[in-house]
């Protein structure tokens, strides 16, 4: 079937680039979001997300007339659900957004339509939750309409390129549904498109992020061991990675973002008895911000009353995504330990944490600091000249949680320098 109209529900980090890319490839796209501020902003040309190239893409899609933005779905040949799937306080998946999106499609579902779920979900969500909701239309999934799961596999900061070039997995409730999904994404995907069943595709997405989470947990445990054994973990990792079959990742203040820090919990929820390693890795990474704060206290003494400039709040470098960020957790723990924390997040300068100050500029953040704490390796922080920093702060101590600042350079500028995982110095 040649798809001419597409309705994309959820205009976040995945939905908006996806809708805009389809629109610039000649499909008529209805972008749907329930947030009135997002809808109004987009209709006025304002893009609410930071991603390189996204503003230009969205504005081109809107100006072409191929993308319109609404608060409710409209009839279309195909529907893509790209809404958030966060977890609840008990670490169980919150599928309320997926359920609401599916219910909003039902009145518009027609024979021959295609529905694709992109939201990361626990195994069997497509067949056990999504299909029964959509079948309230009186149509049968896989027969009267096609239903598939196709996870996004993109990296923030490179979304627009990877959306097109990365391999894509299409899992259908029937082979015909997988084929229909392949036909839709072939509109713009240049990478390989692989077809499978829906539950396998759900599992693949969770496995990819869980694999990385486990490997980061190993790196974080290595960093803790290095502190204990008086080893510089960064030197040890560089040497270990010279082995042809070893690739140890970098330790840091924890794991954040809406994928790696969330997806493994879906497997723990679905099969706790068979996910012990996954659970242990999650616990290591979730406890890493607390380990960092303890590390700072061991190096600097009591934090009560100390003024800390916390540089970076995003979950990774050079993005504005603060979801599940370990840097935010670290700031909250510093605050609870009695520190007076001033944060500086260049990509979301207006973001505030209860009990902490927010500075619009680096100069404002460090002007009264006792400790400089690098939490996120944003390019503008990595490129700082310690001699210039020395001129604008009374701070004597530098804590580098991501190993982005050269130790000898900061020592030469007169700072006491410590980085996480360095037990040697």
- The conformation of residue 81, written as its DSSP 8-state character, comes to E
**Do residues 159 and 128 lie in contact, with contact meaning Cβ atoms separated by under 8 Å?**
no
Dihedral class, residue 10 (left if φ above 0, else alpha if ψ from -120 to 50, else beta): left
**Do residues 402 and 295 lie in contact, with contact meaning Cβ atoms separated by under 8 Å?**
no
Does residue 259 carry a catalytic annotation?
yes
Does residue 140 carry a catalytic annotation?
no
88, 136, 247, 259: which is the annotated catalytic residue? 259
Taking the C-alpha atoms of residue 349 and residue 367, their distance in angstroms, rounded to an integer, is: 17
Bridge partner residues of 67 (DSSP): 29
- The conformation of residue 93, written as its DSSP 8-state character, comes to B
Token pair of 3 as six digits = 């798809």
List, in order, residues 6 or more apart from 268 with CB less than 8 Å away: 91, 275, 278, 279, 282
Taking the C-alpha atoms of residue 315 and residue 63, their distance in angstroms, rounded to an integer, is: 33
What is the four-CA torsion angle of 321, 326, 332, 335, rounded to 10 degrees?
-110
List, in order, residues 6 or more apart from 385 with CB less than 8 Å away: none
DSSP string across 285-296 = HHTHHHHHHHHH
Taking the C-alpha atoms of residue 73 and residue 7, their distance in angstroms, rounded to an integer, is: 7
182, 205, 306, 316: which is the annotated catalytic residue? 205
3-state secondary structure of 21: helix
Q: Which residues are catalytic?
A: 205, 259
């Amino acid at each position: 079937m040649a798809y001419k109209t597409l309705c994309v529900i959820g205009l976040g980090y995945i939905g908006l680039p996806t809708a805009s890319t389809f629109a610039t490839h000649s499909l008529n796209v209805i972008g749907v979001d329930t947030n009135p501020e997002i809808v109004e902003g987009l209709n006025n040309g304002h893009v609410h997300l930071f991603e390189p190239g996204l503003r230009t893409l969205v504005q081109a899609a809107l100006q072409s007339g191929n993308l319109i933005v609404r608060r409710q779905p409209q009839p279309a040949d195909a529907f893509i659900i790209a809404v958030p799937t966060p977890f609840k306080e008990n670490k169980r998946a919150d599928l309320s957004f997926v359920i609401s999106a599916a219910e909003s499609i039902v009145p518009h579902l027609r024979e021959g339509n295609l529905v694709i779920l992109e939201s990361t979900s626990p195994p069997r969500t497509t067949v056990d939750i999504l299909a029964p909701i959509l079948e309230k239309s009186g149509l049968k999934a896989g027969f009267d309409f096609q239903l598939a799961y196709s996870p996004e596999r993109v990296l923030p900061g490179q979304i627009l390129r990877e959306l097109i070039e990365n391999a894509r997995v299409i899992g259908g409730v029937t082979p015909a549904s997988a084929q229909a999904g392949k036909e839709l994404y072939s509109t713009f995907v240049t990478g390989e498109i692989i077809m499978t069943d829906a539950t396998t595709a759900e599992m693949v997405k969770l496995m990819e992020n869980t694999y990385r989470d486990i490997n980061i947990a190993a790196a974080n445990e290595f960093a803790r061991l290095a502190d204990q054994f008086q080893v510089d973990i960064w030197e040890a990792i560089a040497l270990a990675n010279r082995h042809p079959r070893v690739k140890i990742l970098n330790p840091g203040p924890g794991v954040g973002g809406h994928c790696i820090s969330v997806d493994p919990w879906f497997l723990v929820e679905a099969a706790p008895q068979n996910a012990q390693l996954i659970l242990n890795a999650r616990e290591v990474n979730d406890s890493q911000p607390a380990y960092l704060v303890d590390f700072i206290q061991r190096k600097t003494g009591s934090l009560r009353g100390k003024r800390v400039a916390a540089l970076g709040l995003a979950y990774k470098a050079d993005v504005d995504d603060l979801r599940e960020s370990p840097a935010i957790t670290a700031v909250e723990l510093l605050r609870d330990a009695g520190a007076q924390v001033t944060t500086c997040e260049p990509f979301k300068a207006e973001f505030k944490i209860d009990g902490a100050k927010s500075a619009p500029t680096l100069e404002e953040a460090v002007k009264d600091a006792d400790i400089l704490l690098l939490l996120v390796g944003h390019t503008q922080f990595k490129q700082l000249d310690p001699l210039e920093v020395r001129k604008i702060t009374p701070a004597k101590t530098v804590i580098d949680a991501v190993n982005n600042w050269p130790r000898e350079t900061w020592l030469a500028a007169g700072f006491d320098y410590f980085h996480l995982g360095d037990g040697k110095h």
